[in-house]
A and B are shown apart, each in its own frame.
Chain A
C-alpha cells in the first residue's frame, strides 16, 4: 500500500513539476498520433463515404476484409510496416525505420480501417434512409457520398475522435517500427511498458495518468459535441452516439 501511495505521489510530483523528460514524451506522442489520425482521416473519410454509396462487384468481399482489419493487432501492423521499411523492403530506400515517420506511417495504417469502416457504416445508413431524396435532386453517387458525409459530419467527428483514441493508446506498432529510442522515438505507451519493466513505476504511472487524461478529454469532447448538436438541431434530433463512451 505504501509503495502504491509513494508511487502515486511521485508520479503527481513529476506531473506538477513539469518534468521535461515526461512532457517531451507526451508531446511526441501527441504529435505522432495527431498526424497519423489526420492522414488516416484524409483518406479514410473519402474512401468510407464512397464505399457507403458505391455498388460494385466484389464490394461485399471488400467490406469483409475492411471489417476484419478493424480488429488488426497493432503489433501485426508494426511487423508489416517494419518489413516494408526494412533495408531489404520495398520502402527501405526511404530510410524511415526507427524514426517518427515510421511511427506515423504505422499508426496511419492502424487507424485507416477504423475511419474507413465507421465512415462507410455511417454513410451507408444515411444512404439507406434518405439517399434517394438526394438522388431525386440529381446527386450522382460520387456527389451523394460527399453530401451524405457532410450531412453526417457531427457523427463523423466522433469517428475522428475514436480514431485518435485508437492511435494514441496503441503500443505494439510504434514499439516495433520506432524502436522506443529515448529522446527520439519514445512515446507514452512504449515508455510505460519500458519503465514498468525497469521498475521505474512513478514515471510509468505519471505517463499513464496523462494517457488517461487524454482519453478522458476525448470523451468530454464527445459529450460537448452531443450537447451542442442537440441544441442546434432541437430536442427531437437523434443524439450523437459517443464511440468511446
Chain B
C-alpha cells in the first residue's frame, strides 16, 4: 500500500535556525501519528510542511493524490461572522455552493453540539467551543487526512476531554489518517497508533504507541527515554 504522506529527507531553514533537519516520515491510510517533543523541536513546522503551508529548504514532500487534508490549529482564528458561517466559509473556499455548504455546516455543528449557537457570533464562544467549531469546520470538509496542532493545549480540562472525545469518535472505525502534535502524553496514548519523537528538528524515534510507552527506550532511543522520564516523572 503506497503511503498517503511521504516526507523524504526534509529540511526547513528559517534564516540561521534549522527547524527541521533531514526528516523522513511515511504515513499510511488510517494511521494516527502523534508528534511529541519539547517546544521548538519542530512539531508545528512538520505539520505545516505536511499541509503545504511551508516550503521545504531541502528534500521532498509527497502527498497521495486521493488525500483531502484539513488542519485544526492550536488557536483557531474566529472570523467576524456567525458560528454557522464560520463553517460555511470554509466549505465555500473549497468550491462548495453556498446553499449546500449551509446544509453541510449545520450537520457539522450538530455533530459537535453547537447547532443551537449557529446564529451567534463565533467570537463570543468559549475556548472549548471555538475548538469544537474548528473541528466542525474540518469535519465538514470531509477530509481523509486531518492535521492538528496541539488542539487541546489551550483548553481547560473539561473542554480538553470534550474535544478529545469528538476526535476519538471521528477516527474510530474510519480510515481517516491523523497527524497531530501534543504535549499531553495521556492523549497521545489514547489517540495515536504511532509516536514520532522530535528533538531540535530531527526525528529521533518513530515507534508504535505501545513500544514508545512500554518498551525500555534507554539504550535504543536515549533522548526519547529522557523526554519520557521528564514528562512522566
Contact = CB atoms under 8 A, between A and B. Distances in A.
Nearest to A139: B93
A136 B80 contact: no
Contact of B53 (A129, A135, A237): A135
A61 interface: no
B212 to A, nearest CB: 28
Interface in B70-98: 70-71, 73, 76-77, 79-80, 89-90, 93-94
Q: Is the interface of A mostly helix, strand, loop or mixed?
A: helix
A153 B79 CA distance: 11
Contact of B73 (A133, A138, A151, A232): A133
A136 B71 contact: yes
B77 A129 contact: yes
Interface residues of B, number: 17
A234 B123 contact: yes
Nearest to A152: B80
Nearest to A154: B80
A139 B79 CA distance: 14
A233 B123 contact: yes
Contact of A136 (B53, B121, B123): B53
Instruction: List the 5 closest A-B pairs by CB distance, nearest first.
Output: A130-B77, A234-B124, A233-B123, A137-B93, A136-B71
Interface of B: 48, 51, 53, 70-71, 73, 76-77, 79-80, 89-90, 93-94, 121, 123-124
20 contacts: A130-B77, A132-B53, A132-B73, A133-B73, A136-B51, A137-B93, A138-B94, A139-B93, A151-B79, A151-B80, A153-B80, A154-B80, A232-B121, A233-B80, A233-B121, A233-B124, A234-B121, A236-B123, A236-B124, A237-B123
Given A151-B79, A233-B124, A236-B123, 18 more contacts: A132-B73, A133-B73, A133-B76, A134-B93, A135-B53, A136-B51, A136-B53, A136-B71, A136-B73, A138-B94, A151-B80, A153-B80, A154-B80, A233-B121, A233-B123, A234-B121, A234-B123, A237-B123
